[in-house]
A and B are shown apart, each in its own frame.
Chain A
Amino acid sequence: MAPKFQIKVFQISSFVKNFTIISIVTLSFLLVFFSKSDLYLINGIKNISSSVIIPITRVISAPLNVFSNFVDEYNKFTSLKFENKLLQEEIIRLKKWQTLAIQNSRENKVLKKLLNATDNNLSLVKTASLINRNDTIYTKLINLNAGYEDKIKKNMSAINERGLVGKVIDTTSNNSRVILLTDPNLSISVKSISDDIFSLLTGNGDGKYLVSSFVKENKMPRLGDIVVTSGTAQIFPVDLLVGKVAKVEKNRFFVLPFVDFENIDYLQIVTSK
């Protein structure tokens, strides 16, 4: 008669269990302790999360993404007629501006020659496209498909055709993270074009407006004033378009950014020359 098979149940001893738990807690403590440093392990984890985890999460959340895109397309389709009317009005307005701009540009060239001034203070590092966004919970971050292999470094400015979008806060080999202007944790030093009023702006938390956290000599800009980067903090290049003063209160003012943060596809990473 054949002998009966006996199944050996392998039970993890309490020593192994306790050792695993203690190791995980110790590892966690070390990770928290060194998370703000540029250690190889921390950079490795960030690299894996942006190059492996983000694509996986995008695949898993793809059905919802498709639905979101469908709703977006439907909304655009229904508002086509209204948008068309707006665009026609804008074309007429822009044509008037174009004539003025050409005249100013000629005048500008002549004046620059007289002053021996350089044309532009920006140098383009890389144009990158958006991979995904994490701008709902906690911070307003977006991920781009270019990293330090494309010469992108921390603290470089991200702009698009409308103006300043944000600042690079982290780079891995092929990805970088940009914190948006609307994040309440980012401050930018700005000045108003007409009166040269210097102030600090931060995100208001609603994702729409920027609010002043400090105004030099408590001088308030006028409603409708255009606000640009002042370049005083030496993080953002000088004279990048930020937004328009939308509301002025006794001790603070609100700025509506020129950039439409909900429709960002491509960004240019720039730095001062």
Chain B
Amino acid sequence: MKVSAFERATNYVVLVFFALVVLGPIGVIVSLAFGPESASVAREGFALHIENFAEAWVVGRFGEYMAWSVVVAVIVVVIAVTCSILAGYAFGVMRFRGSGVLFALFLLGIMVPTEAFIVPLFFDMRSLGLTNTVWGVALPQAAMSIAFGTYWMRTYFRSASLSIIEAARLDGAGSFRILWQILVPVGRPAILTLVLLTFMWTWNEFLIPLVMSPSGTVRTAPLGLAFFQGQYTQGTALLAAGAVLVALPVVVLYIFLQRHFITGMIEGAVRE
């Protein structure tokens, strides 16, 4: 196909336009984060106010919120990815009664919105004394990620070469050894994608920690940010610095491993 210089130029104009539209609001919050906290500080001269981040970390308690986020995310990722690998293995390479119905149950969990079950879940967890605990915040998110993770890992195991599995079986390897020593090492890219997506969803989740920890004992980073905004109408610089801190871990991972994020979110959405 012949491509004129004009079409090429048009492409750059379109791309730059959309890139600026995306980066604009991000630029606003980043520049506010490095900006002066008040007019009196501003008068001292033009400088990057890195101290905003330190202040947000300590005074804004973002350090504490981020620590909770790390704890919750680690629990969710470990539980959800382990369970998903095991369940995806069963659905992907084994034949058994009820597999169709059970798999449909997992697919249901991908589509059902959190709002459908969060209310009764809160009251049942309250009766069990699990609200305001890290488990109350983490386990419902693990359940949601298992729905997607099982679907995702099943797709990987389906694509894994049956001849390798057959050969290993003839060598006398049990099903767990086949999984652990052959399929998991080969499937590292698929598993890494799942780890990253689960981490991102957990880190960014808002409704579940909001509902499950009403007293604010377990306040994850996005909640801390929303709370900070509600508490202080002044202090835009600290709020912006907090927002940058909350977004940073996922954005950094995204910059280095963007292929995993993009293919994961796009392929994960394409259901057969």
Do A and B originate from a single complex? no
A: which residues have CB within 8 A of B? none
B: which residues have CB within 8 A of A? none
